Amino acid sequence: MIDHSASKDSIRRRVLVVDDEFINRQILGHIVSRDYDVLYAENGVEALEMIKEKKDTISLILLDLLMPVMDGYELLSTIQADAELKRIPVIVLTAEKTAEVKCLKLGAVDFIPKPYDMPDVILARVGRSIELAEDNMIIDATENDIISRLYTRQYFYRYSERHDAYFPDVPMDAVVLNINRFHIINDINGRAYGDSVLKIIGAQIRELLEDKSGIACRSDADNFYIYLEHRDNYGEILRTIKDGVTEKTGNDHIHIRMGVYSNADSGIPVEQRFDRAFRASVNLKTGYRSDYSIYDDSMHEKELFSERLISDMDQAISEKQFKVFYQPKYNIKGDVPVLSSAEALIRWIHPELGFISPGAFIPLFEDNGLIHKLDKFVWREAASQIKKWKEKYNRTVPVSVNVSRVDLFDPNLKNVLTEIVNEFDIGTDEFLLEITESSYTDKSNSKHIVETVKELREMGFQIEMDDFGSGYSSLNMLTTMPIDALKLDMAFVRNICASEKDHRMIKLMIDIADFLSVPVIAEGVEYEEQYKLLKEAGCDVIQGYYFSKPVPPADFEGLIEKDILRSQNAE
């Protein structure tokens, strides 16, 4: 219960007395005015006008039932039908016991019997009613999301658990609604428009639940959770919600996704049920083939597999289950390709699960913030290998390593990289750092990332922008970005032979690199025709299966020895 004692001393609440008899108004007003400011009305119509005008400052209404023009019953019904007015508690003034049940059903919170011969009891009832109403307002503010008018997530979980306790045998579905690229809607149309979309979806969900057993909340930002009795017509439900949003906004480009955990397992926590529904919705993130997805056994197996990989990661690093392979890069500017550097690529050979694709564990570790551990392992392995080749062949083979977005926010990044190159006695120019274009162009963090990369370059590290062409960097941004090489997005290289558009795009990007005076690296080159087109376009360096797949260090040494022999023969 909220303690109002301090505020009572500084703020006098306002009470409205509604009674058609002058003497009754004066008696009641005299009693109440000891602790409250008092307003008066002679009938329901006069009272309603006053309530609407001063709804934010009236803390309680004392209401007589029998009045001319508009009686107390009608006024009480009118107040309860208005969402803004119904928060004001109403105490009914009556001498008729039979009126109490009817008034309670209409929303009255208490009764004061006539005649008014117990002032202290009246003040106690008024104070208690105001206190309860204000407590309820505070609870309501935390219980309900002000934009969607659905529950907040914490209360939603609590009520879902209560539903399970009362109806343990009723099969329930956990449903997640998500607005695709909602941040773009806000950026283009403004936050107020975005909030209006959320309000409309909230209204559509409330309408859905009017005739169906269930509850809902706005979980966060643009995610809505719905817990309702099992059904099989989610395509129809989603269409109804989307049609309502389109009709009310006039915008048919608002794409809503739905994830469903059908017949949710009541043996697991409510949060976990909605995590599963959310993962089902995420499956739709990159495509528009379907509007909704059902969580199934394959998703559950993938979830268990992901958890296994996360739990095994530290042990895999300590036991060196991770292996660093190297894919060569060849400079093709001359008549004969020359080995110029390599890229370090991670492989996981699990003792029980066997070979695990990097596509399975790298995005997982990125999403869970664990990628920095793996990156540091690769950095040390690559630096050690550079030193070994340097000592064995008296030749430096620079190696590029990935620096993830998580790494760029590590305040220790510069110290870690410095310690590694010092430990293995290699130069910063031998240890190349690959950073994706999307990291540079992250709207909310690009300034920090650019400053960090500038500091790394000042330390002597060379920076390769990876996946160039996949992001949204403008020409103006490119002139200020700290880079030493542009690495073309593999998708352009893959289609260079079949697509004249991609061919011309590559020429354009090479022209941009020439303007910036940095070399261009093309990865994913597999065929001779791709190689010839890239060489003709002016590409500097090529990486891909055309020359070699990623190989273990021992196999890479064969490529070094072959290049040394070529160099000797050329002399």
DSSP result, 27-60: HHHHHHTTTSEEEEESSHHHHHHHHHHTTTTEEE
Same domain, 165 and 47: no
* Cα–Cα distance for residue pair 296/283, rounded to 1 Å: 12
* Cα–Cα distance for residue pair 41/15, rounded to 1 Å: 11
Instruction: Output the domain CATH number for residue 523.
Output: 3.20.20.450
The answer to whether residue 304 is domain-embedded is: no
The answer to whether residue 571 is domain-embedded is: no
Task: Supply the pLDDT for residue 3.
Answer: 41
User: Rounded to the nearest 5°, which phi and psi values hold at 126?
Assistant: -65, -50
Tokens at residue 137, please?
């307002």
* Cα–Cα distance for residue pair 195/320, rounded to 1 Å: 50
Same domain, 173 and 99: no
Residue whose entry in the numeric block shows the structure tokens 């609604």? 177
The CA-based dihedral angle spanning residues 475, 480, 484, 487, taken in that order and rounded to the nearest 10 degrees: -30
518, 485 in Cβ contact below 8 A? Answer: yes
The answer to whether residue 302 is domain-embedded is: no
Same domain, 119 and 230: no
Alpha-carbon torsion (95, 97, 102, 106), positive or negative: positive
Task: Supply the pLDDT for residue 5.
Answer: 37
**How many structural domains are present in the chain?**
3
The answer to whether residue 568 is domain-embedded is: no
Same domain, 478 and 534: yes
DSSP result, 384-402: HHHHHHHHHHS----EEEE
337, HSE (Cβ side, Cα atoms, 13 Å): 21
Same domain, 338 and 416: yes
Same domain, 427 and 336: yes
Running along the chain, 571 residues long, what does each successive block of 10 average in pLDDT?
41 90 91 92 93 91 90 91 88 81 87 84 91 80 83 90 89 92 82 91 90 84 92 89 90 89 92 91 62 83 88 95 97 93 96 93 89 96 97 95 91 95 95 84 70 92 84 60 86 81 85 89 93 92 95 96 88 68
Q: Helix (H, G, I), strand (E, B), or coil: what is residue 477?
A: helix
Instruction: Output the domain CATH number for residue 117.
Output: 3.40.50.2300
Amino acid letter for position 335: D
Strand 90-94 and strand 37-41: the pairing is unpaired
Same domain, 121 and 268: no
Same domain, 13 and 123: yes
39, 17 in Cβ contact below 8 A? Answer: yes
Q: Which of 265, 295, 325 is the last residue of a domain?
A: 295
Same domain, 277 and 211: yes
The answer to whether residue 342 is domain-embedded is: yes
Same domain, 103 and 131: yes
Question: 89: cis peptide before it, omega within 30°?
Answer: no
The answer to whether residue 191 is domain-embedded is: yes
CA 501 to chain centroid, in Å, comes to 35
Same domain, 136 and 175: no
* Cα–Cα distance for residue pair 175/199, rounded to 1 Å: 18
Q: Which of 273, 295, 317 is the last residue of a domain?
A: 295
The answer to whether residue 322 is domain-embedded is: yes
Residue 453 burial (CB count, 10 A): 22
Same domain, 394 and 542: yes
Q: Which of 75, 110, 143 is the last residue of a domain?
A: 143
Q: pTM for the complete prediction?
A: 0.62
- Per the structure, the complete domain to which residue 425 belongs is given by 309-557
Task: Supply the pLDDT for residue 475.
Answer: 57
Alpha helix positions (H), 42-118: 44-53, 72-80, 99-106
